[in-house]
Amino acid sequence: MTLFEHNIRKELLSNSPLSSKMRPKILDEFIGQEHILGKDKILRNLIENNMIPSMILWGPPGTGKTTLAKLIAEQSNMNFKALSAVSSGLADIRKISDEIINNRTIDNNKTILFLDEIHRFYKSQQDSLLPLVEEGIIILIGATTENPGFSIINPLLSRVKVFKFESHTNNSINKIIKKILENKELYLNYKNTKIEKKVVDTLISGCNRDARKAIDTLEISVISTKEKNGEKLISKEIIQELLENNSVYDKKSDHHYNNISAFIKSIRGSDPNAAIYYLARMLKNGEDPTFIARRLIISASEDIGLANPNAMIIANATYDSVSKIGMPEGRIPLANTTIYMSLSEKSNSSYLAINSA
């Protein structure tokens, strides 16, 4: 790397989010996951011997799956391509595979394809990865928060290694925060930042063992705190407020149930604008589109019923379409049906009748 390139990288890094600045450059800097990355553990040995297999990294958010994938590519001197299964489809896979094949004569380095949220790919989309992995066109590293045994097709599972990530411990989160606070000028761009131990303890206990959440909360607290007498004193109150406002959207959270409830109530109330808003919000947060399609089928029976029997046919067709094509294209039939059902006449006569019977 030339001096010019070094200075450019330094400038870019200074403007990067704190979570990006904190990414380790070598394996020894990686904090957590000692059960697979500790001395003489399988994954560590594979990385150090530059024998990288296709793999699935399975574990909770904020545990370092993306960080490790990038670190493997850098340490193994491989090309790195990244896609999110939430917003990508078959066309994106084909485009990347064509690029890799066409560049093979120019670049002999292998290519890692990092596929975030791989469980969001449907069977046909996962099928498209099989020849790429089997023929060695790519080394696939998939990241998922869902159990691969339930969300990844067996032919793909048989071609990859699965490594389970554990949630961070309070001790490993503390190490990460300590590293930031010992290098305030580098990581926070502000040397005179003060944060008491009890405030750090609040941050650690409130981040739900999610390192990314802890790092982002600390960064925003520094940015949003006003300077007094030449220093920034981070308060417990601002940490608590940021943690409360950064609630997780998942299948067990209130957000999951509140959003689907608001979505159905908007359809029931014949408000297409509100229904589309809640649909977009759910999809943006990674909600399972087939779950939404199933709820549309229920709403077609319960809320629209005999006033428009075609709604049931359309809702069923939407479920079939979403199951076949996946995301991101699946958002279109979901939107079509959401608007159609919102504008339809409503009748719950059958619902009331069966309950009375």
Question: Tens of pLDDT along 285-344?
Answer: 788 899 999 999 999 999 999 999 999 999 999 999 999 888 889 999 999 999 999 999
Beta strands per DSSP E along the chain: 55-58, 79-84, 111-116, 139-144, 161-164, 193-194, 232-233
Co-location of 142 and 51 in the same domain? yes
Among residues 261, 287, 291, 255, which one has the least CA distance to residue 274?
261
Q: Cβ contacts of residue 32 below 8 Å, gap of 6+?
A: 63, 64, 166, 168, 169, 172, 211
Co-location of 113 and 180 in the same domain? no
Confidence at residue 1, expressed as pLDDT on a 0 to 100 scale: 47
Task: Find the range with the poorest average confidence among 180-189, 276-285, 346-355.
Answer: 180-189
**What are the tokens at 187?**
């990581």
Co-location of 231 and 276 in the same domain? no
* Residue 241 belongs to a domain: yes
Mean pLDDT of the chain: 86
Average pLDDT over residues 244-259: 63
Do 195 and 185 form a contact (C-beta atoms < 8 A)? Answer: no
Co-location of 54 and 158 in the same domain? yes
Whether 140 has a pLDDT exceeding 90, the answer reads yes
How confident is the model over 90-137, as pLDDT tens digits? 888 889 888 888 776 555 678 999 999 999 898 888 999 999 999 888
Which residue has tokens 């689907």? Answer: 260
Average pLDDT over residues 196-218: 87
Do 284 and 331 form a contact (C-beta atoms < 8 A)? Answer: no
- CA atoms of 268 and 278, how far apart (whole Å): 13
* Other beta carbons within 10 Å of 229: 6
The length of the chain is 357
DSSP H or E run through 20: helix 18-21
Co-location of 90 and 200 in the same domain? no
Q: Is 295 helix (H, G, I), strand (E, B) or coil?
A: helix
Co-location of 222 and 158 in the same domain? no
Do 331 and 283 form a contact (C-beta atoms < 8 A)? Answer: yes
Measure the N-to-C terminal CA separation of the chain; round to a whole number of Å: 78
Domain end marker among 126, 145, 164: 164
Confidence at residue 288, expressed as pLDDT on a 0 to 100 scale: 87
- Upstream peptide bond of 328 is cis (omega within 30 degrees of 0): yes
Do 287 and 259 form a contact (C-beta atoms < 8 A)? Answer: yes
270 or 193, which is more confident?
A: 270
Task: Find the range with the poorest average confidence among 29-43, 151-165, 194-208.
Answer: 194-208
How much of the chain, in percent, has pLDDT values that exceed 90?
Answer: 43
- CA atoms of 272 and 340, how far apart (whole Å): 8
Co-location of 126 and 154 in the same domain? yes
Confidence at residue 122, expressed as pLDDT on a 0 to 100 scale: 86
Co-location of 231 and 270 in the same domain? no
* Residue 20 belongs to a domain: no
Confidence at residue 246, expressed as pLDDT on a 0 to 100 scale: 60
Which residue has tokens 């869902």? Answer: 146
Confidence at residue 158, expressed as pLDDT on a 0 to 100 scale: 94
- Phi, psi (deg, nearest 5) at residue 161: -100, 140
Confidence at residue 60, expressed as pLDDT on a 0 to 100 scale: 86
Domain end marker among 112, 144, 164: 164
Which residue has tokens 């489809």? Answer: 89
Co-location of 203 and 156 in the same domain? no
Domain count, the chain: 3
- CA atoms of 145 and 69, how far apart (whole Å): 15
Confidence at residue 106, expressed as pLDDT on a 0 to 100 scale: 59
- CA atoms of 167 and 141, how far apart (whole Å): 19
How confident is the model over 252-281, as pLDDT tens digits? 555 677 788 889 999 999 999 999 999 998
Confidence at residue 254, expressed as pLDDT on a 0 to 100 scale: 53
* Residue 263 belongs to a domain: yes
CA 267 vs. chain centroid, Å, equals 28
Whether 191 has a pLDDT exceeding 70, the answer reads yes
Whether 11 has a pLDDT exceeding 70, the answer reads no
Do 125 and 64 form a contact (C-beta atoms < 8 A)? Answer: no
CA 72 vs. chain centroid, Å, equals 19
Confidence at residue 8, expressed as pLDDT on a 0 to 100 scale: 46
Co-location of 132 and 204 in the same domain? no
Do 71 and 27 form a contact (C-beta atoms < 8 A)? Answer: yes
Tell me the residue range of the domain where 334 lies: 254-348
The Cα-based distances of 206 to 61, 173, 194 in angstroms read 15, 11, 19
7 or 91, which is more confident?
A: 91
Co-location of 44 and 128 in the same domain? yes
Confidence at residue 15, expressed as pLDDT on a 0 to 100 scale: 60
Which residue has tokens 């294209």? Answer: 329
Co-location of 38 and 86 in the same domain? yes
Among residues 215, 223, 285, which one has the least CA distance to residue 243?
215
Confidence at residue 6, expressed as pLDDT on a 0 to 100 scale: 46
CATH number at residue 285: 1.20.272.10
Strand order in the sheet with 111-116: 79-84, 111-116, 139-144, 55-58, 161-164
Confidence at residue 35, expressed as pLDDT on a 0 to 100 scale: 93
Confidence at residue 151, expressed as pLDDT on a 0 to 100 scale: 86
The Cα-based distances of 111 to 53, 63, 127, 184, 204 in angstroms read 12, 23, 19, 35, 36
Q: Which amino acid is at 352?
A: L
